[in-house]
């Protein structure tokens, strides 16, 4: 025994120093090509996902990342969450210097453990574990090895070997081990090679691998990362969530599962049933009934998320919402369906991926890619879509958060993929009519009538409903792009409907709006609506440009100018037609009136990388034209 010990000591004494000199991950070993656009380099990463049963999936992730500079620090950490349905089994980590020599190892006491911070969720049983070496001598290398276990198969981990932009990958592999009879669907993007498949008794192993993947640079309006870099999305076939079993082979199957989750959650207490009957009594059409019940929902409930265990995926019962007056998107949508059912109107619970200008889900690859629930009411002629977490959205309107995309309708026969309403240039309209006077001292008195429709009204709609009249005034006094002004009066008129609109009336007084220099008066006739995006010139644009906003703006301005002035210079007319949009402006003086008109149409679409500088040029011309000044001179 004693001898063995001394052998060990000798081993440590003689072998270790040698090892320290030549570390495993010296920065000098990184190939040059891996450094282009990169702030960090993944030296190697091995992820192994083992589907042991429908209730047990282990995910092992071992990675070594070299952090090249301060901007790369965002990749120098390990983090994962755990909950009743997910455990973190172990975590190890090491820190290496530039030569690849180990500086130190992770200590358990350094791991932070906190409740998952969430703005929308009041209570959540998810907690976060986080570790960071906080090293500062660049470059350095971190290594982490972690294992987690999921107690469900509804959400299989995806593989995105590039965790972000500005990071390159020397070598990364993803191994999926499952029963050969268990069907797993895959959707791969930008992968040069198919997986290597081996079957060994009851284990089928698939290994994907990439080598020498250069970093994806950060660029304005570039496509999402997974369209530019290797990425695989996995879809389960049969799966389990808690005690619920389902299949995801088709949208229909997946919908059936959701409908099973929601089963029996639609019962309402007697007083609410009575209340519903009172509310719909006398309503002439089904649409009127829907509107009345939606108003009832909006006035009596609000959004609070309590997400514990399966509550993250299964709604609280309708009776819960009835008594508490709150719930999350699932609970409130389920409640709305229940209310409508009492009134004899068939409505559906709908899963959707919410987010402003979010990209659509892959329609031919059923997977659980949803983050939100809404309610759909098919009537004879069309469908009324209801956002149940909002107290102010008009019935039937989806806006930029849920419009223009596919969603999964949960019916008795299972899931059906449907499209939510589309809002394009025909609906997204902004028309502003301004009239006013400018006096010889430069003071502008202005009346504006601004009309906003569909997605052009989304932000305004939310703001005016979130603010009292006093707060609206404070906001207006702070936020117009005029150096010095006062808001004399204002009001808002809303038109609700499938395509809602808001008319904003403003009366503004702005001293010094026009600059007076001696005998001249400089007036910027475009007063309230100036384009303000300017792009950075880039001669080596790498990726396509994707524009997601689509709208038409029309502005007309009439200003009465003071007596005794003549026109010295006017903004030049402009008429630009580009694939990204059109812009037209003109300015004239007739008698004592200065006229300015402007129209801007923005197109959505995907454009070649080479078009980037044309886009920059388009934005720049609009930026300038929107700020051009008219110059008047006093007749002496």
Partner 1 sequence: MPIRTSMLIFTCLMVNLLSVSAQDKPAYKFGKVNLADFSIPVPAFDSGAHAIIIGDVGSSVITPNNKGGFGYEFQRKLRMKIVDINGVDAGKFEIPLYGSKTSTSREELLSLKAVTYNLEAGKIVETKLENNQVFTEKQSDAFQQKKFSLPALKAGSIFEISYIISSDFIFDFRPWEFQHDYPCLWSDYEVEIPEYYDYVFLTQGYQPFHIVKSSQNARTFMIRNNRSAESSLDKTFSLDGFVTQRRWVMKDVPSIKEENFTTTIENHRSKIEFQLSSIKYPQQPVEMVMESWPKVTTDFMKSEDFGSLLNRENNWLDDVIEPVVRGESSPLAKAVKIFNYVRDNFTCKQHSGKYLSTGLKSMLKTKSGNVADMNLLLIAMLKHEKIECYPVILSTRGHGITNPVYPIVDRFNYVICNAVIGSQDYLLDATIPDLAFGRLSTECYNGHARVLTDDAIPIMLSADSVMEKSISMAIVVAEKNQLKGKVTLSPGYFESLDKREFIREKGKAALFEKIQTNYGSDYVISNTGIDSLKKLNDPIKIFYDIALKETDEDIIYFNPMLVQMYKDNPFESAIRRYPVEIPYCIDDTYILNMQLPEGYLVDELPKSTRVKFNGDEGSFEYIVSVNEGTLQLRTRLILAKANFPAEDYGGLRDFFGYVVKKQAEQIVLKKKSN
Binding interface with partner 1 (CB under 8 A): 70-71, 103-104, 110, 114-115, 122-123, 133-137, 299-302, 304, 306, 323-326, 391-392, 465-471, 474, 477-478, 483-484, 512, 515, 517-520, 522, 534-537, 568-569, 620, 623-624, 629, 631
Identify which of residues 197 and 474 has a Cβ nearer to partner 1 in the complex.
474
CB of 134 to partner 1, least distance (A): 4
Question: Where does 525-571 have alpha helices with state H?
Answer: none
Identify which of residues 52 and 519 has a Cβ nearer to partner 1 in the complex.
519
Residue 114: φ, ψ to 5°: -140, 155
Identify which of residues 162 and 622 has a Cβ nearer to partner 1 in the complex.
622
CB of 71 to partner 1, least distance (A): 6
Identify which of residues 55 and 74 has a Cβ nearer to partner 1 in the complex.
74
CB of 325 to partner 1, least distance (A): 4
CB of 11 to partner 1, least distance (A): 24
Which residues, in sequence order, are CB contacts of 445 under 8 Å at separation 6+?
436, 437, 507, 508, 509, 510
CB of 607 to partner 1, least distance (A): 20
Q: Is 211 helix (H, G, I), strand (E, B) or coil?
A: strand
Residue 294: φ, ψ to 5°: -65, -40
CB of 123 to partner 1, least distance (A): 4
Instruction: Report yes or no: 148 and 88 within 8 Å, Cβ to Cβ.
Output: yes
Angle made by CA atoms 9, 10, 14, in degrees to the nearest 5: 120
Give the strand pairing for 326-327 and 372-378: unpaired
Instruction: Tell me, letter by letter, the H, E, C secondary structure of 240-284.
Output: EECCEEEECCCHHHHHHHHHHHCCCCCCCCHHHHHHHHHHHCCCC
**How many whole angstroms separate alpha carbon 501 and alpha carbon 150?**
46
β-sheet with 520-523: strand ranges across? 515-517, 520-523, 630-634, 565-569
Identify which of residues 52 and 218 has a Cβ nearer to partner 1 in the complex.
218
CB of 216 to partner 1, least distance (A): 17
Across 439-549, where does the E strand assignment appear?
A: 444-453, 486-495, 501-510, 515-517, 520-523, 545-547
DSSP at 159: B
Identify which of residues 190 and 617 has a Cβ nearer to partner 1 in the complex.
617
Identify which of residues 351 and 508 has a Cβ nearer to partner 1 in the complex.
508
**How many whole angstroms separate alpha carbon 587 and alpha carbon 578?**
22
Q: Is 568 helix (H, G, I), strand (E, B) or coil?
A: strand
**How many whole angstroms separate alpha carbon 283 and alpha carbon 475?**
39
Identify which of residues 89 and 110 has a Cβ nearer to partner 1 in the complex.
110
**How many whole angstroms separate alpha carbon 516 and alpha carbon 19?**
77
Identify which of residues 38 and 59 has a Cβ nearer to partner 1 in the complex.
38
CB of 404 to partner 1, least distance (A): 27
Identify which of residues 239 and 326 has a Cβ nearer to partner 1 in the complex.
326
Across 379-519, where does the E strand assignment appear?
A: 383-386, 406-411, 414-419, 429-438, 444-453, 486-495, 501-510, 515-517
Identify which of residues 97 and 145 has a Cβ nearer to partner 1 in the complex.
97
CB of 376 to partner 1, least distance (A): 24
Identify which of residues 225 and 462 has a Cβ nearer to partner 1 in the complex.
462
Instruction: Report yes or no: 192 and 172 within 8 Å, Cβ to Cβ.
Output: no
CB of 86 to partner 1, least distance (A): 18
594: which strand partners?
559, 589
CB of 72 to partner 1, least distance (A): 10
Instruction: Report yes or no: 589 and 576 within 8 Å, Cβ to Cβ.
Output: no
Identify which of residues 3 and 468 has a Cβ nearer to partner 1 in the complex.
468
CB of 255 to partner 1, least distance (A): 31
β-sheet with 127-132: strand ranges across? 77-82, 127-132, 112-115
Identify which of residues 188 and 473 has a Cβ nearer to partner 1 in the complex.
473
Instruction: Tell me, letter by letter, the H, E, C secondary structure of 31-76.
Output: CHHHHCCCCEEEEEEEEEEEEEECCEEEEEEEEEEEECCHHHHHHC
CB of 623 to partner 1, least distance (A): 7
CB of 627 to partner 1, least distance (A): 9
Identify which of residues 369 and 391 has a Cβ nearer to partner 1 in the complex.
391
Question: Residue 109, Cβ neighbours under 10 Å: how many?
Answer: 5
Burial 393-425 (b: 16+ CB within 10 A, else e): bbbbbbbbbbbbbebbbbbeebbebbebbebee
Q: Is 98 helix (H, G, I), strand (E, B) or coil?
A: coil
Q: Is 320 helix (H, G, I), strand (E, B) or coil?
A: helix
CB of 468 to partner 1, least distance (A): 4
């Amino acid at each position: 025994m004693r001898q063995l010990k001394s052998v060990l000591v000798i081993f440590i004494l003689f072998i270790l120093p040698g090892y320290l000199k030549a570390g495993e991950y010296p920065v000098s070993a990184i190939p040059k090509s891996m450094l282009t656009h990169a702030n960090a380099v993944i030296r190697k990463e091995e992820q192994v996902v083992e589907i042991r049963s429908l209730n047990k999936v282990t995910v092992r992730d071992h990675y070594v990342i070299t952090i090249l500079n301060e901007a790369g620090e965002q990749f120098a950490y390990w983090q994962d969450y755990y909950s009743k349905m997910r455990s973190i089994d172990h975590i190890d980590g090491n820190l290496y210097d530039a030569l690849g020599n180990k500086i130190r190892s992770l200590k358990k006491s350094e791991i932070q453990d906190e409740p998952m911070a969430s703005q929308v969720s009041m209570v959540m049983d998810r907690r976060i574990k986080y570790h960071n070496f906080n090293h500062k001598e660049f470059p350095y290398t971190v290594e982490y090895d972690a294992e987690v276990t999921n107690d469900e198969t509804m959400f299989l981990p995806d593989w995105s070997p590039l965790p972000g932009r500005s990071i390159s990958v020397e070598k990364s592999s993803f191994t999926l081990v499952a029963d050969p009879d268990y069907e797993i669907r895959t959707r791969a993007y930008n992968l040069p090679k198919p997986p290597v498949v081996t079957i060994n008794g009851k284990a089928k192993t698939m290994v994907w691998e990439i080598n020498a993947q250069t970093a994806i640079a950060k660029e304005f309006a570039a496509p999402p990362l997974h369209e530019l870099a290797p990425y695989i999305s996995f879809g389960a076939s049969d799966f389990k969530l808690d005690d619920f079993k389902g299949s995801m082979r088709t949208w229909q199957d997946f919908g059936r599962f959701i409908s099973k989750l929601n089963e029996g959650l639609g019962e309402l207490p007697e007083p609410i049933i009575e209340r519903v009957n009172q509310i719909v009594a006398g309503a002439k059409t089904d649409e009127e009934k829907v509107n009345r019940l939606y108003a009832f929902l909006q006035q009596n409930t609000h959004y609070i998320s309590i997400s514990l265990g399966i509550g993250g995926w299964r709604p609280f019962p309708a009776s819960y919402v009835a008594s508490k007056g709150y719930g999350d998107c699932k609970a409130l949508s389920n409640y709305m369906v229940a209310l409508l059912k009492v009134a004899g109107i068939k409505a559906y619970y709908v899963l959707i991926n919410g987010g402003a200008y979010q990209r659509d889900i892959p329609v031919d690859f059923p997977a659980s890619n949803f983050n939100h629930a809404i309610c759909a009411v098919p009537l004879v002629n069309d469908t009324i879509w209801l956002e149940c977490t909002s107290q102010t959205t008009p019935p039937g309107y989806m806006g930029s958060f849920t419009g223009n995309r596919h969603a999964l309708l949960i019916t008795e026969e299972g899931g059906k993929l449907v499209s939510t309403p589309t809002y394009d240039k025909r609906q997204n309209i902004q028309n502003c009519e301004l009239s006013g006077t400018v006096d010889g001292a430069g003071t502008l008195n202005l009346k504006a009538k601004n009309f906003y429709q569909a997605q052009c009204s989304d932000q305004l709609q939310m703001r005016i409903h979130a603010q009292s009249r006093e707060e609206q005034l404070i906001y207006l006094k702070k936020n117009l792009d005029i150096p010095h002004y006062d808001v004399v009066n204002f009001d808002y008129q809303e038109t609700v409907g499938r395509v809602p609109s808001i008319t904003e009336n403003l009366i503004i007084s702005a001293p010094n709006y026009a600059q007076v220099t001696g005998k001249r008066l400089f007036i910027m006739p475009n007063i309230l609506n100036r384009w303000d995006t300017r792009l950075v010139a880039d001669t080596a644009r790498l990726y396509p440009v994707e524009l997601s906003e689509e709208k038409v703006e029309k502005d007309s301005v009439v200003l009465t100018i003071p007596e005794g002035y003549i026109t010295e210079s006017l903004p030049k007319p402009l008429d630009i037609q580009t694939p990204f949009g059109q812009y037209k402006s003109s300015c004239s003086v007739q008698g004592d009136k200065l006229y300015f008109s402007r129209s801007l149409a923005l197109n959505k679409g995907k454009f070649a990388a080479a078009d980037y500088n044309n886009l920059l040029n388009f934005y720049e011309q609009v930026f300038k034209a929107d700020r051009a000044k008219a110059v008047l001179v006093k007749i002496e």
